Chain A
């Protein structure tokens, strides 16, 4: 059968109409609006990592002169040699706090905000109360709030939130950033060490989208995440678990892994080893590596926000955290037990042979009368 040839002009028209039909029929789940950079909180460069030194836990490797530095001296962190650069989006950044060096005021920086969007900030204290920190927007946006010293309602894990919402095109873009700070000093006591509300960050039901990572601290208020740990990450929206959210873990060196949350809103990710000093002499057991947990979720929902209609909602949140090298990287049970067993054996044999040498054999004495 001979094929009928279609004129070239008509062929183009058919193609264009077909493409238009496909575009009209196809409704993508992912919003066509450009994806925004994650919003991220980091330690404010204006506040150094100084503060009251916990007598029980001076920061390892820190010379005492630096520990005794008065709070808030500008540029002090720079002198200590630590990076004060604010975090870049997508990569963990900023200087991490020590959980044993409380300061009377906490200040944080966030990397970005949209001029037309609403920015709200919250701090959830360990006792469940919520306060609104002082916010300053502008070139270097940030927030600060008081953390009174002592074993009071602030003693424990404080969660800091920045929530930014605004309509871009037909999408309601909701970006949240979270930072968790442990306000503790051993001098205040460890009475609350088994109180989960103090040592585990609690969710806040008014936050549109947030990440909860379990077991961040041990019962002595030490940061407990080690390389190789499996992190249990729960994604919540207004306190309700979110299924199908994309959770990404990005390490300091840029390695990243993405998984989806299950029906319970839980995703599990293993933190890889990401600390390789040039030589063993430079290995620091107390090294604090950084990683960033990001969660995304896009879905269709119509509505209006501030009288601006939208067809889709896009949620994006971040939580930076820190980890230490795993004990397996630098400690050996085999040698430990070998030394103990060797000492036991040698000392045991020593005692036995000493006693054996000193014991006198029975000797019968016969007297010739």
Chain B
């Protein structure tokens, strides 16, 4: 058992993650062609607009369900909303935010763009801390809007007139998943601006603009779009209940900053915070690159239901560094 643990701790989780991401991408983008359907309440971007999907993102159904009139909350439709939310939470707590780091197809595409940038030897960008904190709050604004706008379709909020159905799935209209993921099955139909109404025109134009930004942003900044992802904000609400956890032993931390430097999102608190045990922040994607880069014995630890599955060790760190030096 100890030998197995040692082998795992000495391994490179990034390599495992790379292959896992490809498998998850294939499953979520092409799984439908093999009649695979994991469910339509997934806490990750498996886009409903992509026909071969092996599962569907919860946000689409959630936005539809938010159109429920207030007077029908305590009816069968209200139960439907609750069941949907509980299913989403059930999926989510299983892998916590590792859904972002290991499963999300949009995240995987961003990682591929990062690899492409490395090939071209273009240096990456990072945000100053103050800007990072400001940008990080955008996802909560988007989360609030994707709840409030559909609510405005089914209800008159503060006496305002109800919104039209063109406002139906506002986040999906601007999500790059809608435009990018169908491309992988040769469907280009989402790359258009819809002129059928002003609302649709604005949303689809915004969607195309964000798609352009997605490609440039992800090329120069690792996991660029994740900082603005409302799904990430939604995850964080339930993150503390996750079975998979990332913990830190502040006593052993020397604040060398390795973890911050390798963090794809750029979370500074992972290096600076030596007080908190649970180190999963709202922007964390649980890629475990920080654990991989930590040279301190047992400082950072990934555990599932309290059982350690991957932790930082001095031996593992040096082995990985040696492997990197040898080009492995």
Mark A residues whose CB is within 8 Å of B.
53, 55-58, 60-65, 68, 186-187, 189-191, 193-194, 218-220, 283-285, 327, 330-333, 335-337, 339-344, 347-348, 351, 355
In the complex, 20 of the A-B residue pairs with CB atoms within 8 angstroms, ordered by the A residue number, are A53-B77, A57-B64, A60-B165, A64-B67, A284-B196, A285-B196, A285-B197, A327-B192, A330-B196, A333-B191, A335-B192, A335-B205, A336-B191, A336-B193, A336-B205, A337-B191, A339-B193, A339-B209, A343-B213, A344-B212
State in angstroms the CA–CA spacing of A342 and B209 once bound together.
8
By a CB distance below 8 angstroms, the chain B residues around A62 are 165
Partner of A194, one of B33, B168, B189, B191: B33
Known A-B contacts A337-B191, A344-B215; A283 and B196 likewise in contact (beta carbons under 8 Å): yes
By a CB distance below 8 angstroms, the chain B residues around A337 are 191, 208
Contact at B64–A56, with CB atoms within 8 Å?
yes
Known A-B contacts A331-B195, A343-B212, A347-B216; A68 and B72 likewise in contact (beta carbons under 8 Å): yes
Contact at B216–A348, with CB atoms within 8 Å?
yes
State in angstroms the CA–CA spacing of A58 and B67 once bound together.
9
A279 vs chain B, min Cβ distance (A): 13
Q: Mark B193-222, 1 if CB is under 8 A from A, else 0.
A: 111110010001100111111011100100
Residues of B in contact with A, size category? 35 or more
State in angstroms the CA–CA spacing of A122 and B179 once bound together.
44
Known A-B contacts A63-B162, A194-B32; A340 and B208 likewise in contact (beta carbons under 8 Å): yes
State in angstroms the CA–CA spacing of A221 and B72 once bound together.
26
Partner of A336, one of B153, B165, B192: B192
Known A-B contacts A55-B77, A56-B61, A194-B35; A335 and B193 likewise in contact (beta carbons under 8 Å): yes
Contact at B194–A55, with CB atoms within 8 Å?
no
B57 vs chain A, min Cβ distance (A): 12
Q: Mark B217-257, 1 if CB is under 8 A from A, else 0.
A: 10010000000000000000000000000000000000000
B296 located at the interface, meaning its Cβ lies under 8 Å from any Cβ of chain A in the complex = no
State in angstroms the CA–CA spacing of A86 and B200 once bound together.
35
Q: Mark B24-38, 1 if CB is under 8 A from A, else 0.
A: 000000001101010
State in angstroms the CA–CA spacing of A331 and B179 once bound together.
14
By a CB distance below 8 angstroms, the chain B residues around A64 are 67, 69, 153-154, 162
B297 located at the interface, meaning its Cβ lies under 8 Å from any Cβ of chain A in the complex = no
B111 located at the interface, meaning its Cβ lies under 8 Å from any Cβ of chain A in the complex = no
Partner of B194, one of A53, A58, A331: A331
By a CB distance below 8 angstroms, the chain B residues around A53 are 77
B272 located at the interface, meaning its Cβ lies under 8 Å from any Cβ of chain A in the complex = no
Shortest Cβ distance from B64 into A: residue: A56
B19 located at the interface, meaning its Cβ lies under 8 Å from any Cβ of chain A in the complex = no
Partner of A333, one of B60, B80, B192: B192
B79 vs chain A, min Cβ distance (A): 11
B149 vs chain A, min Cβ distance (A): 14
Known A-B contacts A336-B208, A339-B208, A341-B212; A351 and B194 likewise in contact (beta carbons under 8 Å): no
Q: Mark B59-103, 1 if CB is under 8 A from A, else 0.
A: 011001101010010000100100000000000000000000000
Shortest Cβ distance from B71 into A: residue: A68
A181 vs chain B, min Cβ distance (A): 23
By a CB distance below 8 angstroms, the chain B residues around A332 are 192-193, 195
State in angstroms the CA–CA spacing of A68 and B217 once bound together.
44
B283 located at the interface, meaning its Cβ lies under 8 Å from any Cβ of chain A in the complex = no
State in angstroms the CA–CA spacing of A189 and B61 once bound together.
12
By a CB distance below 8 angstroms, the chain B residues around A189 are 37, 40
A75 vs chain B, min Cβ distance (A): 22
Partner of B165, one of A58, A331, A342: A58
A37 vs chain B, min Cβ distance (A): 37
B314 located at the interface, meaning its Cβ lies under 8 Å from any Cβ of chain A in the complex = no
Which of A194, A283, A284 has the most chain B CB atoms closer than 10 A to its own CB?
A194
Partner of A55, one of B35, B61, B200: B61
State in angstroms the CA–CA spacing of A339 and B204 once bound together.
10
Shortest Cβ distance from B153 into A: residue: A64
By a CB distance below 8 angstroms, the chain B residues around A355 are 125
A76 vs chain B, min Cβ distance (A): 17
By a CB distance below 8 angstroms, the chain A residues around B40 are 186, 189-190
B282 located at the interface, meaning its Cβ lies under 8 Å from any Cβ of chain A in the complex = no
State in angstroms the CA–CA spacing of A348 and B217 once bound together.
8
Known: A194-B33, A340-B211. 11 other contacts (CB 8 A): A55-B61, A55-B77, A61-B164, A330-B195, A331-B194, A335-B193, A339-B208, A339-B212, A340-B179, A344-B212, A344-B215
By a CB distance below 8 angstroms, the chain A residues around B72 are 68
By a CB distance below 8 angstroms, the chain B residues around A341 are 212
By a CB distance below 8 angstroms, the chain B residues around A351 are 125, 216, 220
Shortest Cβ distance from A52 into B: residue: B76
By a CB distance below 8 angstroms, the chain A residues around B127 are none
Contact at B165–A191, with CB atoms within 8 Å?
no
Contact at A347–B212, with CB atoms within 8 Å?
yes
6 closest cross-chain pairs (CB), A and B = A343-B212, A285-B196, A340-B212, A331-B192, A330-B196, A344-B212
State in angstroms the CA–CA spacing of A65 and B64 once bound together.
16
A62 vs chain B, min Cβ distance (A): 8
Known A-B contacts A190-B37, A193-B32; A61 and B212 likewise in contact (beta carbons under 8 Å): no
B216 vs chain A, min Cβ distance (A): 4
By a CB distance below 8 angstroms, the chain A residues around B212 are 339-344, 347
State in angstroms the CA–CA spacing of A180 and B36 once bound together.
27
Contact at A333–B195, with CB atoms within 8 Å?
no
